[in-house]
Amino acid sequence: MSMRRRTLLKVIVLGDSGVGKTSLMNHNIYVHKKFSNQYKATIGADFVTKELQVEDRLVTLQIWDTAGQERFQSLGVAFYRGADCCVLVYDVNVLKSFDNLDNWHTEFLNQASPTDPQTFPFILLGNKVDIDGGNSRVVSERKAKDWCAAKGNIPYFETSAKEDINIDDAFFCIAKNALASDRAQDIYFQSVPRAVSEAEPQSGGCAC
Ligand code: GDP
Ligand code: MG
């Protein structure tokens, strides 16, 4: 048996309803859904996990999404507790979703109360850049970047969950920044050798 070290990071995804939060976090097939219904029922939220390698660290992102209850104040403390990174999402084609970013940013800081709000890692995603080849967008990249600068240099990515634009880069940045902020909680686990005894039945079990 060998000991491996991995880091668990809790990531919260916030933004108006319909901007593409669920599509972004469910985008890749290597995302594993866990305890979905249980969490949905109890705290109105849902999470998936995503594994990434950042330099020499194995990182597990636990990404929390609202279960269609994006109204302010509707998410409980359990949703925000212990967050390592907050991903804000808006739709580049919907001005209101951009204007609401201030509210989501403030809401997060109020609810999660991070120890150092000035340096807490946020990231902004401007989603649905694919629509109409970009002709229907109403929020320019410049405007979004200015907002990010005013909030303390939040990293910004323009994404499309539909056409797989920038999503992996964005999640890598999320993991990197959350790690760098050194709020990460390390978990240790034992990795058990895969060898299966010949005496063990092969049927009925998980193939992986
Ligand atoms: P949420 O309410 O923020 O979780 O948004 P959803 O992920 O449910 O997405 C809302 C709608 O927008 C769905 O019909 C998605 O298929 C669509 N959608 C999400 N992301 C994109 C995108 O990048 N491009 C396009 N064209 N549609 C998207
Ligand atoms: Mg959703």
SS3 track for 138-168: CCCHHHHHHHHHHCCCCCEEECECCCCECHH
Confidence of residue 157 (pLDDT cuts 50, 70, 90): very high
- Residue 194 contacts by C-beta under 8 Å, 6 or more apart in sequence? none
Domain covering 3-190 assigned CATH 3.30.479.30 in the classification: no
Between CA 192 and CA 195 the distance in angstroms is 9
Pocket test for ligand 1, best of 19, 22, 23, 28 (most atoms within 8 A of CB): 23
Distance 20 CA to ligand 2 centre (A): 7
pTM value is 0.83
Between CA 108 and CA 22 the distance in angstroms is 18
Sort residue 164 into left (φ over 0), alpha (ψ -120 to 50) or beta.
left
Per residue in 13-52, pLDDT (tens digit) is: 999 989 999 889 877 534 444 444 444 444 556 778 888 8
Distance 66 CA to ligand 2 centre (A): 6
Confidence of residue 75 (pLDDT cuts 50, 70, 90): low
- Rounded average pLDDT over 129-149: 97
Answer yes or no: is the C-beta of 131 below 6 A from any ligand 1 atom. yes
Confidence of residue 69 (pLDDT cuts 50, 70, 90): low
DSSP sequence for 107-120: HHHHHH--S-TTT-
pLDDT recorded at residue 42: 46
Nearest CA to ligand 1 atom 6: 20
Answer yes or no: is the C-beta of 18 below 6 A from any ligand 1 atom. yes
Distance 200 CA to ligand 2 centre (A): 42
For 166, 201, 202, the CA distances from 198, given in Å and listed in that order, are 45, 8, 9
